[in-house]
Every structure is written in structure tokens, then in C-alpha cells.
A = this chain, B = another copy of it.
Amino acid sequence: MKRLAVFTSGGDAPGMNACIRAVVRGAVYHGVEVFGIRRGYNGMINGDIFQMTSHSVSNIVQRGGTILKSARSKEFMTPEGRQKAHDQLIKHGIEGLVAIGGNGTFTGALKFFEEYQIPTVGAPGTIDNDLYGTDYTIGFDTAVNTALEAIDKIRDTADSHDRIFFIEVMGRDSGYIAIQSGIAGGAEMVMVPEVLTPISEVVETLKQGWSRSKSSSIIIVAEGDEEGNAAEVAEKIRTQVGVDVDMRVTTLGHIQRGGIPTAYDRILASRLGLGALEGLLNGEKNVMAGVVNNELRYTPFIDTIKLPKPINEDLLRMVRILSV
């Protein structure tokens, strides 16, 4: 392979720039030409493609977001879109792709390969950590720390006013951010999509806390919890508690996507970017580079897409023990 391209796709995640940098510098190191594609599959279709050098990625390792920009592409879901994308790659002489994104991105890459045999190796870039085939995804550690900083701040107010706070964190299908930020933030309870926590159990925990004169409580709710979002959960609890308690709801929202990446995310992103690149150069295709038990591993897209990533039940047990 003499020429390849890298792009980011789907929601942005802190560390994507460190990953791009590793792909580009790795390509330079291995003597391969490398191009950048802007705005994911949209840019591939529109030919927003440009050559990158070592210098193109100077001083970006510490930046949030993605210098290649990102987008979701409806057009790439159509045969016509993919045809145009392929024409552009041919025009630029690009023989392989490194795709930084999540399952939507990988699904597109798989379809594209079936039709045009352009090999793609993926790197998992998503704050939700919901991808099978890697212990952690790029951006997850930063998102957890961002949520944690917010929880620390809110605890100041919760303690000062003897309040119960319901804090909603990201995670439509995955409770990873909720559990990790909840343990680290000393939350009294964590509600996640993977495990049903009945409202009655939350009420019970709160009442036990009051009986030990715990004056403030923090409950973390993943946005995709079965009992509803944080506001809905709080409302259900208010009804059941009976007595008048001071309850507040806050939704952390988009701040969880951005920010300066942590050391962990920059190193993981560098490792996965380099791993994806070297995999592609070694003939890997339609696989995602991941780190499992501290080792680089390639997992077929078909598995990352189909297989669920189980939540660590030990961590849920820890939440319960640590809030006694």
C-alpha cells in the first residue's frame, strides 16, 4: 500500500486528534503517503481530501474535537453516495482507509468494502465506551473525568444545602460513564440501562441514608436508563418519598464530548492510531484496533457491531458497598 487516508466520523471525542496524529506520523515513519478526509464520508463523497505531512499534525495532541471535522452522512448510505466516494478515492490513488469512529462508521466501511474492496481498519472513537473489542474507547476517560469534575462541583452545593441531586450523564445504551463517574464521585446510587434499578430501591437507599443522618445524596442517571432520564426519575421518586425533600436535577450535556484529552486518552488514541495504521499496512481489513488487557488486538467489524459489551458487575457492587 502506497497511499492511504484517515478520517473521523460520528460524534467527536477527545483524543481523536491524537489518533489522527499517530496515523499520520506512523505513515510518514513507514514511508507511506497519507491523506486526510474532512467531515467523514461526506468529505469522501465531495472530494474534501488533502495530503498530510508530519507538520500537519504538530501541536494537536492536546486539542479536543477533531481537526478533520466529523459528520454523519446520509448520502453514504445510498449506492450513489458510495459510488461517488469510490470515484474520489480512485482519483486520489487512495488504497486503504483508517476510520476513527463508532459502529455507524464501521457499518458503512463494511458495506463499502463489499462493493469496492477498499480495506478499512477502524479505531474506536466514542465517549460512550460501548464498543466490543476494546476495553476502552478513545474519549471515554476524558468524558468520565469531565463528568467527575461536574459531580465534585455539585457536591459542594449538595452538601451546603442538604440536597439530593440527580445528575444525568451521557450513555444512551451504555452505563459506563455513569458507573465510573459515580464510583469516582462517591455517588450514593448509579442508574444504568444495562441493569434495572427499580425506583423503590432508590427510595429505600435514600431513606437508609437519612436514617444515618446523611444529609445530601447524589444519584447518577445514565440518559438511557429504563426508568427514564434524570428529571423523570426524580419526579417518580418525589411521588414515592412522601416527605418534602429538596431535590434538584441537572443534565451535564454536551460538555462531556469536548475538552482537553487526558493522558490516558492521548496514549490510548496514539496506540490505536498507530495500531490501526500498522494493521492496514500489514493487510488487515474490516477490523477495529482495540486494546484488551493492555494488548493490541484486531476485532472484525462484524463483531464490534453485533456483540454487546457487558457492564462490569463488580463495579456496580462497589457502588453499593462504598455508599454504606
A212-B54 in contact (CB<8A): yes
Contacts of A271 in B (CB 8 A): 314, 318
B267-A65 in contact (CB<8A): no
Shortest distance in angstroms between A307's beta carbon and chain B's nearest beta carbon? 18
A183-B258 in contact (CB<8A): no
Bound: A63/B69 CA distance, A: 19
Closest to A183 in B: B267
Interface readout for A43-69 with B: 1 if CB under 8 Å, 0 if not?
A: 000000000001100110111111001
Contacts of A239 in B (CB 8 A): none
**Candidate in A63, A263, A322 with the most chain B CB atoms within 10 angstroms:** A263
**Candidate in A26, A148, A251, A271 with the most chain B CB atoms within 10 angstroms:** A148
Interface readout for A142-163 with B: 1 if CB under 8 Å, 0 if not?
A: 0011101110111111011110
Shortest distance in angstroms between A117's beta carbon and chain B's nearest beta carbon? 29
Bound: A14/B152 CA distance, A: 13
**Candidate in A70, A257, A315, A322 with the most chain B CB atoms within 10 angstroms:** A322
A165-B69 in contact (CB<8A): no
Contacts of A186 in B (CB 8 A): 21, 59, 61-62
Task: Report the copy number of this chain in the oligomer.
Answer: 4
Contacts of A146 in B (CB 8 A): 153
A259 within 8 A of B: yes
Chain A interface residues toward B at CB < 8 A: 8, 12, 14, 18, 21-22, 25-26, 28-29, 39, 54-55, 58-59, 61-66, 69-71, 135, 141, 144-146, 148-150, 152-157, 159-162, 165, 180-181, 183-186, 212, 214, 248, 250-255, 257-260, 262-264, 266-267, 270-271, 274, 293-294, 314-315, 318, 321-324
A65-B160 in contact (CB<8A): yes
With known contacts A54-B212, A66-B160, A263–B152 Cβ distance under 8 A: no
Interface majority SS (helix, strand, loop, mixed), chain A: helix
Bound: A153/B260 CA distance, A: 8
A255-B250 in contact (CB<8A): yes
A183-B259 in contact (CB<8A): no
Shortest distance in angstroms between A174's beta carbon and chain B's nearest beta carbon? 16
Q: A25-B321, A270-B318 are in contact. List 5 more A-B contacts (CB 8 A).
A: A26-B322, A59-B155, A64-B153, A65-B155, A181-B263
